[in-house]
Chain A
């Protein structure tokens, strides 16, 4: 089957938004995951709850909150626009932010767990071999946490592909800008004779999701072999 320009646009946008959202979340999830796994500090349960909120709230709620703060009338949005000429309103960058916020807790979970599971004794061994804290992190902790980071990344990427509620609330449903696959399916479904189009998009989503899962499986096994876990 050949794809129509609208379908290609939705597919490309979905991939772009999800890839960016995942890439931006990843370093933050690693930093936050490490802090939450290793450090005790005042207000930790509160921080923890805050990052997990998008998981339990109805998606339009974070979407609306994003609109209020990052929209052109919102405090942060206006500041960004005035000082940096950077706008998140009703464009793919906003869709990326929405996807990142919604998928972040899914990445944080596995990352944090894998940091927790790495024995501190291996890090102690590195420290008694002259490695400073940064060196310990990059040569021991991070490589050993890689399987967890990968699985978190995939979860977040898949969640971003499916992101709907927060996106449509925050940045609307604009073809070529914010109409990702789920939004395109929703739009097609509402057209009088859009059944066929919706079905084609659904098949496309299935293929994409399967592809992502298989790629992750292959990658995870490759990494585990490299880490000497198998």
Chain B
């Protein structure tokens, strides 16, 4: 359960920050370009930065209210924060880093114990080491564990993958999903939309110190369509599929996506297991009818839910058992006379399907 209500104003450097949003979804992302004020928002929520005016409430408890002269310092808020570069204490062992917050809790407040968290994040062999002896990915896993063991009522993640290279990112993503699934409300800040969409469909959009949209990714984008933020987005579909067949001879896999079957590049997961796949919205083409004699193997029938026009094209949301978002040229929407409720086929090349964490 989460009910975060923020309405704050402050001066940060050269531009004013004015942010108001109510977040009730247990897991959501905060998306914006570098320097847009995302980190400021996070630091205000954690209590590390005191806004000039406004108020903030978390789960009914007032943490900040200028009118009532109220400000709760960070150590009394019980909000965890995972930093971009882990910020492990260099003078403490991994074990003592993990237990730093845990030891400050009353036994009744502890929702997680060391053993299961160490197992969840696979950091058992690291416990006796110093942070200086860890790789970037290991540090970030320890930082996640340290925040989890503090059993926060809200976990803030500030670009936890930004300092890692592509290979390490893929390795850490599944751990973020595991942390998400233990049931702690999460706010995930990133300038990479694909990371957010991997965890949740709910997004708060931040631009130039203001919140310009909140809700499901498409809703938020629909509201914020005039800003440059929405224009440059690399929107992705992220689906969970069940692998049905791994055809090693011909190098492809077949998976169940909702009630449909989809052909994928060879999966790492074995048959019967689930996998996360992602497809860029711009890689999906739409067709009025099934096309024969074409190399595109996936043609998923569906129905158009809505069409969102943008400056450089249109986003088409389709119900094909799962929700599919295709980004198409604005002209083709008119040429094909696409309307809400129409039946279409989503054309997806198998090779355009990626495994973000594989």
SS class, residues of chain B in contact with chain A: loop
* Of the residues A124, A130, A143, A227, contact of B78 by C-beta under 8 Å: A130
Check if B46 is an interface residue, CB within 8 A of chain A. Answer: yes
B252 proximal to A (CB < 8 A): no
* Interface, chain A (partner B; CB < 8 A): 119, 121-122, 124-133, 135, 139-140, 143-144, 226-229
Distance in angstroms between the alpha carbons of A119 and B92 in the assembled complex: 16
B74 touches A127 (CB 8 A): yes
> A228 with B130: in contact, given A125-B89, A144-B90 (CB under 8 Å)?
yes
- What's the Cα separation between A135 and B76 when bound, in Å? 13
**B interface residues, Cβ below 8 angstroms from A:** 43, 46-48, 73-75, 78-81, 83, 85, 87-92, 100-101, 104-105, 130-132, 146-147, 150
Name which of A130, A135, A226 has the most chain B CB atoms within 10 A of its CB.
Answer: A130
29 A-B interface contacts by CB (under 8 A):
A119-B87, A121-B83, A121-B87, A122-B87, A122-B89, A124-B43, A124-B81, A124-B83, A124-B87, A125-B83, A127-B48, A127-B73, A128-B46, A128-B48, A128-B80, A128-B81, A129-B80, A130-B105, A130-B150, A131-B100, A132-B75, A135-B75, A135-B104, A139-B89, A144-B90, A144-B91, A227-B90, A228-B90, A228-B91
A-B contact count, CB below 8 Å?
73
Instruction: For the complex, give the distance between the alpha carbons of A126 and B48 in Å.
Output: 11
Contact B81 A125 (CB under 8 A): yes
- Cβ-defined contact, A228 with B132, below 8 A: yes
Contact A130 B101, CB 8 Å, known A121-B83, A124-B81, A228-B130: yes
Q: In the complex, what residues of B have CB within 8 A of residue A124's CB?
A: 43, 46, 48, 74, 81, 83, 87
CA distance A198 to B336 in the complex (A): 105
Expressed in whole angstroms, the Cα–Cα distance for A143 and B130 within the complex equals 15
CB B77 to nearest CB in A, in angstroms, measures 8
Chain B residues with Cβ below 8 Å from A133 are 73, 75
Minimum C-beta distance from A126 to chain B (A): 7
Q: Which residues of A contact B47 (CB under 8 A)?
A: 127
